[in-house]
Amino acid sequence: MDQWTKEQWIEQVQSGEQCAFYLYTPLCGTCDVASKMLTVIENLLPDVPIGKANINYLGDFAMEMQVESVPCLIIANNGEIQEKIYAFQSVPFLYTLLKKD
């Protein structure tokens, strides 16, 4: 997963393709587990761009997006935010969310 800036995320959303933005903090144990799950998803779904960012550097963005906690996965499709996921649950759960029909 590549580190994205806010601008890169906006560019991905505006492309109209499905994409996801993973927000985390480096000292969060749950975020570490979520990162590993997303690494698996990234290998299973190479056509879905997934970026990540340390939320500590995106304070204004986090407030704009009303991010409630980390880890947070923001999923966009067709140029719009579809949902925000806070409970990553499992790799199959994430796969189902991100799999293109």
pLDDT (tens digit per residue) in 55-65: 999 989 999 99
Residue 7: what pLDDT? 95
Output the six-digit token pair for 34.
């979520």
Domain count, the chain: 1
Confidence of residue 79 (pLDDT cuts 50, 70, 90): very high
Among 99, 100, 71, CA closest to 85: 71
| Residue range(s) defining the domain that contains residue 45 | 2-98
Cβ-count burial of 100 within 10 angstroms (0-12 exposed, 13-18 middle, 19+ buried)?
A: exposed
Instruction: Single out the residue of 47, 44, 58, 55 nearest to residue 19, CA to CA.
Output: 47
Strand 19-24 with 80-85, pairing: unpaired
pLDDT band at 101 (very low <50, low <70, confident <90, very high): low
Q: Which residues contact 27 (CB under 8 A, 6 or more apart)?
A: none
> In sequence order, which ranges of 15-76 are alpha helices (DSSP H)?
29-44, 59-64
Q: What is the domain-level CATH number for residue 86?
A: 3.40.30.10
Average pLDDT over residues 33-42: 97
The reported pLDDT for the residue numbered 59 is: 83
As a whole number, mean pLDDT of residues 29-37 equals 97
pTM of the model: 0.94
